[in-house]
Structure 1
Amino acid sequence: MGEGIFTQFFYSNMTPQEIIEKILKSRGIRDFERYFNPKPKYLEKSTNLVSIDQARLIVEKLKQSRLILLYSDYDVDGVTSSAVFSRFLNDVGIKNYKVVIPDRFKDGYGLNLEKIKKEFKSNPFDMLITFDCGIGSVDEVEYLKQLGVFVVITDHHLPQDKIPSADIVINPKLSSTEEKGDYHLCGCGVVFKLIHVLKVLWGLDSVDLKKYLEHVAIATIADIVPLIGDNRILVKNGLEVINETPSEGVKALINVSGLKSALNSYHIGFIIGPRINASGRLDIADTSYYLLMQNCEDTAAKYAKILEEINQARKKECDEIFKEALCLIPQIPKYGICLYKSSWNKGVIGIVASRLVERFNLPTIIFGTSVGRKDDGGIISGSGRSTDDLNLHELLVEIDRQYPGLMIRYGGHVKACGLSIYEEDFEVFVEAYTGILQDLNIDNRKKICYDMELSFADINFELIDYIKKMEPFGYGNEMPKFLFTNVEVIDFRKMGDGNHYSINLRQDGCTIRGVWFNGDEQKITDKLNIIGVPIINEYNNNRYLQIRIRDIV
């Protein structure tokens, strides 16, 4: 059967509805009404995250403040968060605010002390709100408090031992539990909850919160938080806004990307999101913020075109670094991957780390630099991605415990992290990282996972309709995969460029076509066991059943 571990649950002799409900139960889902009809009324109460007292104090300060500084992260989550809150302030008539998005290369992640000092000196502010950052900025918040600034932190990242002494800290990792629907909110989801409470407290019946959901959906998908609980509801309803009444900025992104059909989570995660992220990876993220704030179609189109050009450059740079990274791995490592070159742009190394995890199924941390954009002072920045079996944030906490002071700063969540170390300490970090992974002894063989075993006779249009009702798909709500055994290959051919195959298949007298993208021709033999997803292929106004092959085992 090949290498790997089989993970499977049920065998089928059921109706399409029973098949899908059985899969959902295996995933811990019991309330089918909420799952298939993820309406806003099923959201956790916003006051579970933002208390009425906190909201009342924020409203008071927003009305009284001389200047409000909105400080966000430079990724999709941070930029959309600042855009949503800015749009809300505009809607309620508050104009005395300034948005500050740090430069990834000059300022780094989170509150930057020198940037704060510079902003305060040029135009003193008396209120600061963070978006998608701040939970680890203990010293920076302490400095702000000494200046008399009212500080509100909104973040979703896992806190470390010490919580900043901000006036208000809004973070579901502090106020919720993993069983609650709001625990896995991204930064923009946290902001949406905040403005919901502010709207109610303010009595702003004229402000329609639904329009903000397009940005919340984009951030939730792009930040790869689980699409369960509140996130599923926010994304489902946000996609409706994107497909029906998108803002000028989002509409411009759709147009420049060449998308014609209705958008789903795939389009957001792999087409729209990367374009918003691109400016913060290679330049400054302000371009993305300005795009999302646009009400003018022509101006939005200009910003979208700029992002498209930056994204093309980003893809080229990622491909080059990925090739170099592969050359630095002489043989498949056993525990984890940790690489560094001074010529690697720290703005894109996270993407490379993701690609290496996909290739080797090993936790990966890649280090890079500002590559001439600034003097890093001997500090290198790392970006990590993990497999399903390892909590990357907990790993960094353990490294910090065993090697105190080795990391200058770090943060993140289960699947992704960011950190910085001194270049001279890289080899020590590699030793610490691989040593702890070795002690954990995680089985890193690629797991061959599927939800159920089906036969070709089970595949029909009704089943596929039920699968579509499970959308939006993504991390935490994956598209169901099925095992088909003892499948006969009638014939096969290559499709287009690359390793893509069309395979005519037969099982117990039933025939169906399989399509396999990025496949391995050596695996195509006379008899196969296939893991795949039933799909509908539409051609010349006709609909055909197919299987999109994920793997041959």
Structure 2
Amino acid sequence: MLQSKMKWKFTYNDQQHSSDTTSIKGMSGVTKRLLEKRNLTDPEAIDRFLHPSLDDLHDPFLMEDMERAVERVQTAISNQEKILVFGDYDADGVSSTTVLMEALTEAGADCDFYIPNRFTEGYGPNEAAFSQAAGDGYTVIITVDTGIAAIPEADTAKELGIDLIITDHHEVQETLPAAYAIIHPKTSESYPFNELAGVGVAFKFATALLGRFPGHLLDMVAIGTIADLVPLQDENRVLVSYGLKAISRSNRRGIQALTKVAGIESEVDEETIGFTIGPRVNAVGRLQDAAPAVQLFLTEDAEEADRLAEFINQLNQERQKIVADIAKEAERMLRSGEQELSNVIVVAKEGWNPGVLGIVASKLVRTFERPAIVLAIDPESQQAKGSARSIDAYDLFANCMEVRDRFIHFGGHAQAAGMTLDVGQIDELRQQLSHLAQQKLTADDYQQVLDIEMSIEVGEVSLQQIEEVNKLRPFGMGNPKPLFHMKHSPKELRLIGSRKNHLKVLFQDNSARLDGIAFGMGDMYPHISPHAELEVVGELGINEWNGKKNAQIMVKDLQVQSWQLFDLRGSKHLEKHITLSEQETYAAVSFRQSSSTSVPFQLPIYNPADLAYLSKVDGLLLIDLPEKLSDLSDLIREVKPGKVYACYQVEDSAFLKTWPSRDHFKWFYGMLVKRETFHLAQDRDKLAARKGWDRSMIDFISKVFFELGFVKMEDGILTINSTPSHRDLTESILYQERKNQLYVEQSLYYSTYKELKSWFDTQRNSLREEVVNGL
């Protein structure tokens, strides 16, 4: 057996598939089932999903306060008032700021933007910044991707004579700020969709303000929406679909420069933004003021765009190193016990960069499979500021709101949050959140979950099928890239990569072939036996190399549910060929205490009768052969180990020696009767040469006759016993032992791998025959 690293959740039921989609022509059964999983069975709904249309976008004026906000901005433009766009420092905030800045500029506004420095000002609006804005003559402040929790700041704005318009999408807390207007999907009962990203809300405001659809801003909407991990459903799906197309033909200097410096040569898709563009945009605000990222997207100067893009790329490289260093240090602290590894991780230290702690938290969640809060301590203020990430089963926002009094500032979502608290509150926060987790979660809840959409066969995967599945793009939250399950014995399994840390697998079923690649799973290789029925979960993709396209499955996790046989028969260097898992227990078993086979890894050697212990281990190393097949059969039937390592050798093989038939015994006895004596040392070689017999067979026949009393043996000379008893060859213990040895070797040593595996399978499934009270 081989345990999967993650929890596999099969989200489908083959018995529940609807037949409504069968009327859609040209669509495979696989794609139909994927649509059904997304509750899409009606042909019209499927068409809207597969062909997103701008006509499906909702009227921005359905949002509460939209008309009031637009009128205020129009008045400000007419009166030549100064408008400040107050943004956030992540990719959603940067793209939101860009969208609204361009829309206001087009509308004729006197505007500028301001993004707080996360290190000196923290998250969200702050009173000092508002006071500075008032001093600079701003009378209208519009927040984007932030502000819904800015209650005291809204009061400050009112006192300063500033009209505050909040556009945001974050979770709404108990009390709303007393702003001039709040544009937020979740505070608008009449708005049909409440999962817009901050940039989506800003885009809605821009649309209402301009009185037309600003299609040229869709490129920024796609970047912010994808980077912020909001569900790609409803409006978000439409906006991202069109936004990705807009990026591919965008004349925006900043996007062109950023894709160039990032080495993006293929068409930009949601994965390119999520893993390449988004992290670079985020890196700016994580390490310093995020203004250069906004300037990159606003500039129309090619040279400035190249300079800013190169600067941002360097910041991203610096960010990656800082993240790696902090994550390594945090992991050391938790493993050493320097800070408690509780149900909810809360780890804090002076000197950590607050801007990257969300990424560090994500790494800790994956490493320890539990929610994680990572905090940087400011020694002067004695406050800790940081970020949190969670597991699927633990709603971070809801649980933190239960202990809201511990925080100075707090905001976020179910899976991510940011907070500030006094250092003295850290231990209490850890205890309370861990207590809540202990109350609400089971052991299974902590394991990372893979939601599997479908089980498929090798023959169902083709380039055409993968291209059809890709019509469901863009993938993301709410429309995940499908994970498929496959169960098949690999034709080939090998390690690849310069460090041999990746696993390459080839599945073949008749003429159908499918490559699989499991990045970073090279450590699994020694735990997969040849011909094992391997189960993998992964995403389907197309690998293009030298102009040739091949279907492949990108493996996310794998397992072997059946027991495994590792064939190391005759090997004299076992430690080179065996890798034992630290998560499993093993025992070496010897049937002959005189075995000369060396035991790897200093494992203790157990007698097969020690069932009390052996029944608890995961794997057995068989270091020698039993005298009888039944000895091993009994052990396997009782223990049923998940792994069997056949490590035994044969030094004096019975199988390789000629086995004498009854005719051999009969002829030899007749020869002795005629000769009356036979001198083994002198006559054995002559007889062997004349008859073509093996010398060892002559010795064996002689010893059997002696044991049965047919001959006398003295000083190597055989003579006939004049009064022998009538006994059968099978009465000879030596004969039976050699016969047993022959069967044992034939079954366990000289058999093929397939034959040996079949023998073990039979023993595992057999029942001992018992006779009880004559029944």
TM-score by length of 2: 0.66
Q: 1:45 aligns with which of 59, 64, 80?
A: 59
| CA shift for structure 1 position 29 | 3.7
Separation in structure 1 between the aligned mates of residue 148 and residue 512 of structure 2, nearest angstrom: 57
Q: Residue type matched to 2:204 in 1?
A: K
Query: SS in structure 2 opposite 1:395?
Result: helix
Q: 1:101 aligns with which of 101, 115, 128?
A: 115
**1:491–1:134 distance in 2 versus 1, CA, 3 Å:** closer
1:69 paired with 2:84, answer yes
Q: 1:19 aligns with which of 30, 37, 59?
A: 30
2:437 corresponds to? 437
| CA shift for structure 1 position 346 | 0.6
Separation in structure 2 between the aligned mates of residue 290 and residue 387 of structure 1, nearest angstrom: 35
RMSD: 2.2
Q: 1:28 aligns with which of 39, 62, 72?
A: 39
Q: 2:514 aligns with which of 489, 512, 515?
A: 512
1:346 corresponds to? 354
Q: Deviations over 1:117-146 (max 9, x none)?
A: 23323x132111111111111111111112
- The within-5 A match list for 1:42-441 is 42-49=56-63, 51-94=66-109, 96-121=110-135, 123-176=136-189, 182-200=193-211, 209-330=214-335, 335-369=343-377, 377-400=381-404, 404=405, 406-441=406-441
**1:11–1:91 distance in 2 versus 1, CA, 3 Å:** same
**1:508–1:174 distance in 2 versus 1, CA, 3 Å:** farther
Q: Residue type matched to 1:235 in 2?
A: V
Separation in structure 2 between the aligned mates of residue 111 and residue 512 of structure 1, nearest angstrom: 53
| CA shift for structure 1 position 209 | 0.9
Q: Residue type matched to 2:375 in 1?
A: F
| CA shift for structure 1 position 65 | 4.9
Question: Is the CA contact 1:362–1:444 (under 8 Å) kept in the aligned structure 2?
Answer: yes
Q: Residue type matched to 1:474 in 2?
A: G
Query: SS in structure 1 opposite 2:542?
Result: strand
Question: Is the CA contact 1:182–1:231 (under 8 Å) kept in the aligned structure 2?
Answer: no
Q: Residue type matched to 2:302 in 1?
A: E
Query: SS in structure 1 opposite 2:141?
Result: strand
Question: Is the CA contact 1:65–1:127 (under 8 Å) kept in the aligned structure 2?
Answer: no
Query: SS in structure 2 opposite 1:417?
Result: strand
Runs of 4+ aligned structure 1 residues displaced above 6 Å come to 12-15
Separation in structure 1 between the aligned mates of residue 392 and residue 320 of structure 2, nearest angstrom: 26
**1:279–1:153 distance in 2 versus 1, CA, 3 Å:** same
Q: Residue type matched to 1:349 in 2?
A: L
Query: SS in structure 2 opposite 1:327?
Result: helix
1:521 paired with 2:510, answer no
| CA shift for structure 1 position 181 | 5.8
Separation in structure 2 between the aligned mates of residue 102 and residue 479 of structure 1, nearest angstrom: 35
- The within-5 A match list for 1:464-483 is 464-483=466-485
Q: Deviations over 1:281-331 (max 9, x none)?
A: 111101111111111111100011111111111100000011111112228
**1:5–1:276 distance in 2 versus 1, CA, 3 Å:** closer
| CA shift for structure 1 position 433 | 1.6
| CA shift for structure 1 position 473 | 1.5
Separation in structure 2 between the aligned mates of residue 300 and residue 65 of structure 1, nearest angstrom: 30
Q: Residue type matched to 2:357 in 1?
A: I
**1:11–1:61 distance in 2 versus 1, CA, 3 Å:** same
Question: Is the CA contact 1:350–1:384 (under 8 Å) kept in the aligned structure 2?
Answer: yes
1:7 corresponds to? 9
Separation in structure 1 between the aligned mates of residue 549 and residue 238 of structure 2, nearest angstrom: 30
Separation in structure 1 between the aligned mates of residue 8 and residue 90 of structure 2, nearest angstrom: 36
**1:377–1:29 distance in 2 versus 1, CA, 3 Å:** farther
Query: Which consecutive residues of structure 1, in runs of 5 or more, have no partner in the other structure?
Result: none
Question: Is the CA contact 1:534–1:548 (under 8 Å) kept in the aligned structure 2?
Answer: yes
Higher mean alpha-carbon deviation, 435-444 vs 494-503, is at 494-503
| CA shift for structure 1 position 226 | 1.3
Q: Residue type matched to 1:431 in 2?
A: Q
Report the count of equivalent residues: 535
Higher mean alpha-carbon deviation, 289-298 vs 24-33, is at 24-33
Q: Residue type matched to 2:166 in 1?
A: I
Query: SS in structure 2 opposite 1:330?
Result: helix
**1:116–1:369 distance in 2 versus 1, CA, 3 Å:** farther
Question: Max radius of gyration: which structure?
Answer: 2
| CA shift for structure 1 position 358 | 2.5
Query: SS in structure 2 opposite 1:133?
Result: coil
Q: Residue type matched to 2:179 in 1?
A: A
**1:508–1:337 distance in 2 versus 1, CA, 3 Å:** farther
Question: Is the CA contact 2:377–2:423 (under 8 Å) kept in the aligned structure 1?
Answer: no
Q: Residue type matched to 2:208 in 1?
A: V
Query: SS in structure 2 opposite 1:483?
Result: strand
Separation in structure 1 between the aligned mates of residue 481 and residue 149 of structure 2, nearest angstrom: 35
Separation in structure 2 between the aligned mates of residue 524 and residue 480 of structure 1, nearest angstrom: 26
Question: Is the CA contact 1:487–1:507 (under 8 Å) kept in the aligned structure 2?
Answer: no
Separation in structure 2 between the aligned mates of residue 142 and residue 271 of structure 1, nearest angstrom: 40
Separation in structure 2 between the aligned mates of residue 518 and residue 334 of structure 1, nearest angstrom: 27
Q: Residue type matched to 1:38 in 2?
A: P
Q: Deviations over 1:520-550 (max 9, x none)?
A: 3245433201112232222222222222212
Query: Which consecutive residues of structure 2, in runs of 5 or more, have no partner in the other structure?
Result: 560-775
Separation in structure 2 between the aligned mates of residue 221 and residue 163 of structure 1, nearest angstrom: 27
| CA shift for structure 1 position 508 | 6.1
| CA shift for structure 1 position 277 | 1.2
Separation in structure 1 between the aligned mates of residue 383 and residue 289 of structure 2, nearest angstrom: 20
Q: Deviations over 1:374-432 (max 9, x none)?
A: x75111112011122222111111122xxx3x211100112210011011221111111
